[in-house]
Structure 1
Amino acid sequence: MSPFEDGPDQYPTDLAGLAAVLVSIESENPPGNERACAEYVHDWFDRHDIEATLVEEPDPDRPQVGARVGGSGDGGGPTLVLNGHLDVVPAGDHDEWTYPPYEGTVEDGRLYGRGSVDMKTGVAVAMLAALRLRPDIEDGALDGSVVVHAAMGEETAEPGTRALLDAGFTGDYGVVLEPTELRVATSEKGMAWYELSWPGEPAHASRPDNGVNPNGHLPAVLAALADYDAELRERTDPLCGRAYGTVTQVVAGADSNKAVLPERAFVTLDRRILPGERIEDVDAEVDELVAALERDHGVPATWERHETYAAAEIPVDHELAEVVREHTDALTDAPTEPWGIRASTDVREFVERFDVPAITWGPGSLDQAHSVDEYIDLAEAETGLAVLERAARELLTDGHVDADGSAPE
């Protein structure tokens, strides 16, 4: 059932209803359709008397939202930042979906639709946590403040979260609510896309000897990249696992006539970067690989790096991680041992750029992200909201909240 067909409140305060509305607002990236969803989130905060701002940096055509409950974080206690992104990957062929990707269908305890797990339910959790904490923050029962991010551009490594932090929506702790099945990730891999390319000389395929076919170099290039990946797999991180270098695209002549030799060939390398690896060193490795291709195989290749995500980590026993683990353990069976996420998230913006300790933690399985018939279990999401509220109360309390959720006497 669609949240709009049955006519509920357009600005619901129940988790299933709010997440379903967010899913129903298409915000695909590419091309970058976050505006309608950002405007809805801003209006939701306004409707519920929470201060919110439409932030037009870094792209005025793709606004995002920063919201705040409590003071500005300048001496009134700690500030907890709850981060989520509004963009979703394209849904592809809608006919392949059992449930339409932008109807926000709730069926058998699951919310289906593009973005249900990655990560509009996480955004809804952040919004509702701020709403639930507001009375105690405003009357002084809790110290500090809560900030909510509804960011643009995360799926394509654009600086939405960075711009929100730059705009003052920052704090002392950060929780990036990507789906981790409620496991606390204190570290994560980085990622960079390297595009290697080399020229050909176009000629009609009926006279191929009149030109140079760049596809002739593909075996040597792919073999060199396979060797590089094999070398990388020997590098491991105790929490995040192996480094990888995976060829994800091979393109030559796709925008030309099929009877013409391509003007240039392109190969994209997806490089997964471990904590402790510097991007400058990864660049140097790719530079040496390209130099060896020309030296050993006569391939006149060049490279460019696109969409870079830095790796990030905080101590596994940081207070933020310990508090969230404690309350996760009290309400769930989720594993609580130290762990690192093997994907890349906006946690890097907090840790690497702004020196704000942050974790990746949220409801839902990463296996569902970007899939056809993407869904999230709503019971797990409700539990996640309860855990987050309890953890926030401890972090914002002068003292500690006991494991049963009660405040100290």
Structure 2
Amino acid sequence: MTSITDAADLTARLIRCPSVTPEEGGALQLLEQMLTNTGFECHRVDRNGVPNLFARWGTKGAKRTFGFNGHTDVVPPGDVASWTHPPFSGHEEDGWIWGRGATDMKSGVAAFASAAIGFANECPADGAIILTITGDEEGPGKDGTKALLDWMGAQGEQMDVCIVGEPSNPDRMGEMIKIGRRGSMTLQIAAKGKQGHAAYPHRAKNPLHALVRLLNELTAEPLDHGTEHFDPSGLQITTVDCGNPASNVIPEKARATVNIRFNDAHTSHTLDRMIRDKAAGIAAETGVEFDITTDVSGESFLTRPGPFVEMVRDIVRDETGLDPVLSTSGGTSDARFVKDHCPVLEFGLVGHFMHQVDERVPAEQVRQLSRIYRRILERYFA
């Protein structure tokens, strides 16, 4: 069950492509050439300068189609002088592969590409394997996986289930499978009052008082106490500012930023409406005007435990000896887009070194992940 493409070697080759968002860096070119040469039908699906790759083994519209999703773009390396080995060297030493993207997530892409290539000739006639790989997960994300899914819809391409290969394990391989994620939204709240002398507050309208009152109402009670598969939602005030250098002047304007990570007890719409209603009530009492801008990174979602989840869980347990927790923890990933297309879960490497100086990964861990993906394909199409 050895892949014709070694996942660890492919990881090192991908690291050597300096694909800092939004640069492609040669990573997708490398994958496209490799996949095309082994019989995959490949299409570049670039949008607004963002590089993306679609690859399929088998026929379009196959009865059973298994999908993988991942990204080859990486965050900047920071101070190159702080690295033990150059961040785009793909240096291999003592069983470790070093470089930016070693953990997040060129290794995950290498693992599922290797597994897909190795299994392709065993894929049944009524089956297909689809790989969707973006160069814009670490960036805005608006023209990455979303562009791939839009293109697939227009072309009649469909995944029945999908695994996103993001690092999912906290400390050991096999500890955790992500079956959902909290939603994420950010609100920019601007309050406008009337400037005046601090000694004559009756002649002014203090926007800070109204804004602080609103923020207090938002944080005085928890949004919820958690749900069956999710921890409690969290609302965090990340900035408050009025730009006022004078201690005896009531400012005209004040602003705050609020970030909310919410579970399936809410939607971004219900939370946005709640905050706007509170702001409207305070505005009516104080005369201070509120202007609120909302940016939604993604809604909460859950792939409920069932045959797909249990199949992956059984294989991970058998391969690693650990019973993986089904989790919805962490931030956001491109699974928030895939969930609108098909059932999706996340399983990948241990994420210890992602985004750090001296990012690195054990080569054998990458090979183990590829073996798990290969076994998942074998079981799914059995």
TM-score using structure 2 length: 0.82
Residue matched to 2:376: 391
Question: What does residue 8 of structure 2 align with?
Answer: 16
CA spacing shift, 1:199–1:386, aligned 2, 3 Å: same
- In 2, Cα distance between the equivalents of 1:49 and 1:302? 54
Q: CA RMSD in A?
A: 3.4
Choose which of 148, 155, 162 in structure 1 pairs with 2:131. 148
* Residues in 2 aligned to 1:394 and 1:306: alpha-carbon distance in whole angstroms: 40
CA shift in 2, pair 1:294/1:377, >3 Å: farther
CA deviation vs aligned residue, 1:168-218 (integer Å, no higher than 9, x gap): 25311111111112422222111112222346999xxxx999xxxxxx856
Specify the alignment match of 1:44 in structure 2: 34
Cα shift readout 1:64-101 (whole Å, capped 9, x = no counterpart): 000011111x2x43100100022223333333433333
What is the CA-CA distance between 1:326 and the residue it aligns to?
Answer: 0.8
Q: CA deviation at 1:126?
A: 1.8
- 1:186-225 superposed matches below 5 A: 186-198=179-191, 221=211, 224-225=214-215
- SS of the residue corresponding to residue 242 of structure 1 reads coil
Please state how far the C-alpha of 1:378 moved relative to its aligned partner. 2.7
Quote the residue 1:161 is aligned against.
145
Per-residue CA distance 1:242-300 (angstroms, 9 max, x = gap)? 211223455676xxxxxxx9996553322102124212101112313433554566653
Deviations 1:136-166 (A, max 9, x none): 12xx4x7401100111322334242222123
Change (3 A) 1:252 1:52: farther
Between the aligned partners of 2:162 and 2:14, the Cα distance in structure 1 is 22
Distance 1:35 1:263 in 2: 48
Q: Are 2:218 and 2:275, in contact at CA under 8 Å, matched by a contact in 1?
A: no
Q: Distance in 1 between matches of 2:105 and 2:13?
A: 13
Which residue among 214, 223, 229 is the counterpart of 1:239?
A: 229
Q: Which residues of structure 1 form unaligned runs of 5+? A: 1-11, 210-215, 254-260, 398-409
| Structure 2 CA distance for partners of 1:275 and 1:199, relative to 1, 3 Å | same
Alignment map for 1:241-390 (pairs within 5 Å): 241-249=231-239, 266-291=255-280, 294-295=283-284, 299-316=288-305, 318-351=306-339, 353-354=340-341, 356-365=342-351, 367-390=352-375
Change (3 A) 1:285 1:383: same
Q: For the structure 1 residues 221 and 158, does the alpha-carbon distance in structure 2 shift closer, same or farther, using more than 3 Å as the test?
A: same
Alpha-carbon distance in structure 2 between the residues aligned to 1:149 and 1:180: 19
Q: Does residue 26 of the first structure (1) align with residue 18 of the second (2)?
A: yes
Q: Does 1:123 align with 2:109?
A: yes
Moved more, 78-87 or 285-294: 285-294
What SS does the aligned partner of 1:236 have? coil
Give deviations 1:212-238, integer Å, cap 9, x for gaps. xxxx85686467446524533643134
Change (3 A) 1:382 1:264: farther
Matched AA of 1:368: F
Task: Measure, in 1, the Cα distance between the counterparts of 2:92 and 2:8.
Answer: 8
Residue aligning to 2:64: 78
Gaps of 5+ in 2: 200-205, 244-249
In the alignment, the residues of structure 1 paired with residue 268 and residue 44 of structure 2 have an alpha-carbon distance, to the nearest angstrom, of: 32
Partner of 2:162: 174
Moved more, 79-88 or 217-226: 217-226
Alignment check: 8 A CA contact 1:145 1:396 kept: no
Match of 2:246 in 1: none
Output the CA distance in 2 between the equivalents of 1:359 and 1:346. Answer: 11
Distance 1:297 1:331, change over 3 A: farther
> Cα gap change, 1:396/1:108 in structure 2, threshold over 3 Å: closer, same or farther?
same
**RCO higher in 1 or 2 (8 Å CA, sep ≥ 6)?**
2
Conservation of the 8 A alpha-carbon contact between 1:54 and 1:66: yes
The percent of aligned pairs where both chains have the same amino acid is 25
Question: Aligned partners of 2:362 and 2:209: how far apart in 1?
Answer: 45
Cα distance in 1, alignment partners of residues 252 and 13 from structure 2: 47
3-state SS of the aligned residue for 2:104?
helix
Query: What is the Cα deviation at residue 330 of structure 1?
Result: 0.7
Change (3 A) 1:267 1:48: farther
Structure 1 partner of 2:247: none
| C-alpha deviation, 1:385, in angstroms | 0.9
| Aligned length, in residue pairs | 361
